[in-house]
Structure 1
Amino acid sequence: MRRFRKTLTAAVLTTLLVGSTAGWASASSESAPSGPLPGTAAWLADSSLGKQLPDPATATPSEVAAFFAGLTDAQQRRLAEDHPTVVGNLDGTPVSLRYEANGPAGDRVLAYDPRGRGLIARVVGDLEHAAHVSVIVPGSDIDASTSDGTAQWAADLQEEAGDDTAVIAWAGYTTPSGIGPDLATGRLAGTGAERLARFTDGLDAAGLPDPSLFCHSYGSVVCGLAADDTDAGDIVVMGSPGMRADDVTALDTDARVWAAKSPDDWIDRVPHVEFLGLGHGADPTAPGFGARVLPADDVPAHDAYFTPGTSTLTAFAAIAGGDL
Structure 2
Amino acid sequence: MRGFRTRRALAAAAVMLAALLGAGGWAADTQTPVTGPPPGSAAWTADTALGLPLPDPATADPARIAAFFAGLSPAARDALAVRHPLVVGNLDGAPVDLRYRANALALAAERTRELARAADPALTPQDHEAARTRAERYRTLLDGGRQVLAFDPRGRGQVAEVYGDLATARRTAVIVPGSDVDLLRFDRASDPYGTPAGMARALHQATDGQTAVIAWAGYTTPVGLGPDAATEGLARAGAARLDRLLDGLAVSTRPQDPATLFCHSYGSVVCGLAHPTPTRASGVVVLGSPGMGVDSAADLDPRVPLWATARNDSDWIGDVPNVRLFGLGHGADPTDPGFGARPLPATGSHGHTGYFAPGTASLAAYAAVALGRA
**Could you state the TM-score of these two structures normalised by the residue count of structure 1?**
0.95
Following TM superposition, the consecutive aligned residue runs of length 4 or more in structure 1 with deviations greater than 6 angstroms are: none
Alpha-carbon deviations, 1:110-142, whole Å to 9, x = none? Answer: 001110001111111112221100000000010
Counterpart position of 1:150:
196
* Cα distance in 1 for residues equivalent to 2:21 and 2:70: 44
Alpha-carbon deviations, 1:33-88, whole Å to 9, x = none? Answer: 23443211110011111111010000000000000000011111110110000000
Match of 2:324 among 256, 271, 274: 274
Counterpart position of 1:210:
258
Rg larger for? 2
The offset of 1:180, in angstroms, is 1.5
- Structure 2 gap segments, 5+ residues each: 108-137, 188-194
Counterpart position of 1:57:
58
* Cα distance in 2 for residues equivalent to 1:239 and 1:284: 10
The offset of 1:18, in angstroms, is 5.1
Q: 1:323 and 1:182, CA in 2 relative to 1: closer, same or farther beyond 3 A? A: same
Summarize the alignment of residues 92-241 of structure 1 with structure 2, pairs less than 5 Å apart: 92-103=93-104, 104=107, 105=138, 106=141, 107-148=146-187, 149-208=195-254, 209-228=257-276, 231-241=280-290
Q: 1:20 and 1:42, CA in 2 relative to 1: closer, same or farther beyond 3 A? A: farther
Counterpart position of 1:40:
41
Counterpart position of 2:16:
14
Matched letter for residue 226 of structure 1: A
Counterpart position of 1:291:
341
**Is residue 20–residue 26 contact of structure 2 (8 Å, CA) maintained in 1?**
no
- SS of the equivalent of 1:127 reads coil
Counterpart position of 1:74:
75
Match of 2:306 among 252, 257, 269: 257
- SS of the equivalent of 1:102 reads helix
- SS of the equivalent of 1:166 reads strand
Matched letter for residue 151 of structure 2: Y
Which structure has more relative contact order (CA 8 Å, sep 6+)? It is 1
Matched letter for residue 366 of structure 2: F
Q: Number of paired residues?
A: 323
Identity %: 53
- SS of the equivalent of 1:123 reads strand
- Structure 1 gap segments, 5+ residues each: none
Q: 1:65 and 1:10, CA in 2 relative to 1: closer, same or farther beyond 3 A? A: same
